Amino acid sequence: MGRGTVQVLLLLGLLHWGPGGEGRKNWRRRGQQPAAAAAARERSEATGQPVESFPLDFTAVEGNMDSFMAQIKSLAQSLYPCSAQNLHHELRLHLLLNSSVTCNDGSPAGYYLKESKGSRRWLLFLEGGWYCFNRENCDTRYDTMRRLMSSKEWPITKTGTGILSSQPEENPHWWNANMVFIPYCSSDVWSGASSKSEKNEYAFMGALIIQEVVKELVGKGLSNAKVLLLAGSSAGGTGVLLNVDRVAEQLEEMGYQGIQVRGLADSGWFLDNKQYRRTDCIDTITCAPTEAIRRGIRYWNGIVPERCKLQFKEGEEWNCFFGYKIYPTLRCPVFVVQWLFDEAQLTVDNVHLTGQPVQEGQWLYIQNLGRELRNTLKDVTASFAPACLSHEIITRNHWTDIQVKGTSLPRALHCWDRSLHDSNKNGKAPLKGCPIHLIDSCPWPHCNPSCPTIRDQFTGQEMNVIQFLMHMGFDVQKMAQQQGLEPSKLLGMLSSGS
């Protein structure tokens, strides 16, 4: 019999033969008499509540361990005040007590929280959702995406998915952490610091919302944290890069120097590259990222980390919104997750994959984008960059399926966690067999066989990588010739993800 089994049996022995137990096989509340137990059972049956008394069968434990462990689980559920059948893995909404820190429309900002009392790890997630940078496109955003500018219609609870899930199968290493989801309602890439006024139709308080949430969480157990992981996707991923050092400094100033603050930026590592086709800056989709951020930072009264700000001339703080420029200035360790062919990047670069075969110029632009992005990540200590055409990953149900060089994202994050814990040197000494710098080297979108499924937008049918590339106008003969390969050899390499 294993050591764990012996410990469980000893624990049960204390329950079974403890004071008032008298060796009986029925566990009851201490001192409860048979008549009282029967009366309690009758009341329980009448109200539909579970019966208190719980029979345990200790016979043939070794030969029937599954059955025995099922009894242990059932006993634990009966002892726990809220049985597992009624246990919700949901995050609950808390509007900020400081009502001066608001969403765009002046409604109170807030956060969703699911506490995990036994854990000293906290995960704070910043939601994404583009931005607006002038009165006109903010008005349009308010009419079409009000949830991203107001808290008035937020639901009371949310169910966490991906890295916010409480299910070990979906979230193998962080399922038991204290989970915080901070909804995005400031439209400023989490950088703004201006309130609503007669002059300003909208408030932009993204940076202040994060500070206020951290302040409130300190009173809810964050003060005892060992690790705080500030994570985010898309605009939230960029928000991580802009705010992770500020959160660390805030906690230090509050007297919590022992909390290790880290960042996880998903799909927020954008390039300030030249657009495929230049268009006028009318809205967030058509405007080049550099111009949109230039205009936005003024409109939002946006703030960037001081260390990054000092790298650029006055008026050029917009540079700090681009990952490869701000990353070298960060003090906190940050793990970067970025698709090499990010759909949002392609959108702002005016490469629109509408289902029609792409032109040769677009195809070359897409390939070059992958190369440029790969180059910006070469000096990033901890990174995960699959050669896929997609956007956002860490809160997706399928986030455990994507691999780079045989390593999944949860595994890579676990390795990073261990490297920081073991070396305490920002992960600069990776553990053997536990990689944390994972960047695909194959050159085409979806050349990684673990990429998310692609569907033909007209037929809805799934496409494999060869069908997808053909669909995009990929010329096998020409590409094989360029690579000095036989077409059949190139197709075989594509199929295997080589």
The whole-number pLDDT of residue 58 equals: 42
- pTM as predicted: 0.78
The whole-number pLDDT of residue 359 equals: 76
Mean pLDDT in residue range 421-448: 77
Of residues 367 and 478, the one with the higher pLDDT is 367
- Tell whether the model's pLDDT for residue 485 goes beyond 80: no
| Residue 282 pLDDT grade (very low, low, confident, very high; cuts 50, 70, 90) | confident
* Structural domain total, the chain: 1
SS3 488: helix
The whole-number pLDDT of residue 493 equals: 61
Give me 13's structure tokens. Answer: 């022995």
For residue 367, which of 424, 286, 262, 445 has the smallest C-alpha distance? 445
Catalytic residue positions?
A: 234, 342, 391
Q: Is residue 213 part of a domain?
A: yes
Q: Is residue 224 part of a domain?
A: yes
The whole-number pLDDT of residue 444 equals: 84
Of residues 228 and 486, the one with the higher pLDDT is 228
- Give strand pairing partners of 121: 227
Of residues 393 and 22, the one with the higher pLDDT is 393
Of residues 237 and 13, the one with the higher pLDDT is 237
The whole-number pLDDT of residue 5 equals: 45
| Residue 41 pLDDT grade (very low, low, confident, very high; cuts 50, 70, 90) | very low
> 241-263: per-residue pLDDT in tens?
999 999 999 999 999 999 999 99
> 127-151: per-residue pLDDT in tens?
999 999 999 999 999 999 999 999 9
- Tell whether the model's pLDDT for residue 43 goes beyond 80: no
- Tell whether the model's pLDDT for residue 375 goes beyond 70: yes
- Tell whether the model's pLDDT for residue 283 goes beyond 70: yes
Which strand (E) or helix (H) includes residue 364? Answer: helix 360-376
**Whether the Cβ atoms of residue 336 and residue 383 lie closer than 8 Å to each other:** yes
Q: Is residue 76 part of a domain?
A: no
| Residue 350 pLDDT grade (very low, low, confident, very high; cuts 50, 70, 90) | confident
Tally of CA atoms within 13 A in the half-sphere of 82 that contains its CB:
4
- Give strand pairing partners of 94: 111
- Tell whether the model's pLDDT for residue 25 goes beyond 60: no
**Tally of CB atoms within 10 A around 184:** 27
The whole-number pLDDT of residue 412 equals: 97
Amino acid letter, 415: C
Q: Is the dihedral of CA 225, 408, 419, 326 positive or negative?
A: negative
Q: Is residue 437 part of a domain?
A: yes
The whole-number pLDDT of residue 362 equals: 85
SS3 66: helix
The whole-number pLDDT of residue 289 equals: 87
Task: Calculate what percentage of the chain has a pLDDT beyond 70.
Answer: 72
Q: Is residue 457 part of a domain?
A: no
> 149-190: per-residue pLDDT in tens?
999 999 999 999 999 999 999 999 999 999 999 999 999 999
Q: Is residue 334 part of a domain?
A: yes
Q: Is residue 391 part of a domain?
A: yes
**Whether the Cβ atoms of residue 271 and residue 373 lie closer than 8 Å to each other:** yes
The whole-number pLDDT of residue 266 equals: 98
- Tell whether the model's pLDDT for residue 458 goes beyond 80: no
The whole-number pLDDT of residue 461 equals: 60
DSSP per residue over 254-290, as a string? TT-TT-EEEEEEES-----PPPSS-----STTTS-HH
Mean pLDDT in the chain? 81
Structural domain for 258, as ranges: 87-448
C-alpha–C-alpha distance, residues 448 and 465, integer Å: 9
Angle at 147 between CA 142 and CA 150, to 5 degrees: 75
Buried b (16+ CB within 10 A) or exposed e, 147-177: bbbbbeebeeebebbbbbbbeeebbebbbeb
CATH number of the domain that 393 lies in?
A: 3.40.50
> 319-338: per-residue pLDDT in tens?
999 999 999 999 999 999 99
The whole-number pLDDT of residue 288 equals: 86
